[in-house]
């Protein structure tokens, strides 16, 4: 390949990079915006996320917390943690625009969920990651790993609502 051909190829690559960079800056304006849930569905989705959250403690995390005391069957806890992680992933999808207090006055979801969406999504993702780490330790029968993972789950949990069910927090109003 001649030097002239190499120069032409380099110019083409630079031009393509410029086009792609330009598209990145224009894409958010032309990309579809987050869907707003219809008012009739807002109450439904708020109830679904409330029920899911209540079920997480009762169905999964309460039993997983026993591992911090060295209690519980790792095989059972591995299944519970895996299921809890899947539920947390679903939970993160249950906050469409228009499902806050403007449409459902009794919801405990704070406006910060929508105004600070990236931070909220990161908090949900952190909860999933820590729950998966617990599940991995449980699958391996690693009691010390489960004990070490539990405080990280509790910390991730507190990132959104700070403490017991009646407490408020960054993304949840007090009861």
- Taking only the tens place, the pLDDT of each residue in 157-170 is 888 887 666 667 78
- Taking only the tens place, the pLDDT of each residue in 21-47 is 443 433 343 333 356 888 889 999 999
Distant-in-sequence contacts of 102-108, Cβ < 8 A, 24+ apart: 103/37, 103/39, 103/42, 103/43, 103/46, 104/42, 104/43, 104/46, 106/46, 107/46, 107/50, 108/50, 108/168, 108/172, 108/173, 108/174, 108/175
CA 116 – CA 109 distance, rounded (Å):
12
Tell whether the model's pLDDT for residue 7 goes beyond 80.
no
CA 9 – CA 168 distance, rounded (Å):
59
Distance from chain centroid for Cα 127: 7
Number of H helices, E strands in the chain: 7, 0
pTM, two decimal places? 0.77
- Taking only the tens place, the pLDDT of each residue in 105-114 is 999 999 999 9
Q: Buried b / exposed e across 134-160, counting CB within 10 Å, b at 16+?
A: bbbbbbeeebebbeebbebbeebbebb
- Taking only the tens place, the pLDDT of each residue in 68-99 is 899 999 999 999 999 999 999 999 999 999 99
């Amino acid at each position: 390949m001649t030097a002239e051909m190499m120069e032409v190829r380099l110019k083409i690559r630079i031009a393509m990079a410029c086009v792609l960079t330009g598209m990145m800056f224009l894409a958010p304006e032309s990309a579809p915006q987050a869907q707003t849930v219809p008012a009739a569905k807002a109450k439904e989705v708020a109830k679904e996320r409330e029920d899911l959250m209540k079920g997480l403690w009762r169905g999964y995390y309460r039993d997983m917390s026993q591992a911090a005391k060295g209690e519980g069957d790792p095989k059972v806890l591995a299944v519970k943690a895996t299921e809890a992680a899947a539920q947390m992933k679903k939970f993160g999808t249950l906050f469409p625009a228009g499902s806050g207090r403007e449409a459902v006055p009794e919801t405990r979801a704070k406006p910060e969920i929508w105004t600070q969406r990236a931070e909220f999504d990161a908090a949900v993702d952190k909860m999933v990651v820590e729950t998966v780490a617990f599940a991995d330790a449980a699958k391996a029968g690693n009691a010390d790993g489960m004990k070490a993972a539990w405080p990280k789950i509790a910390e991730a949990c507190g990132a959104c609502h700070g403490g017991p069910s009646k407490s408020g927090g960054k993304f949840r109003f007090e009861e």
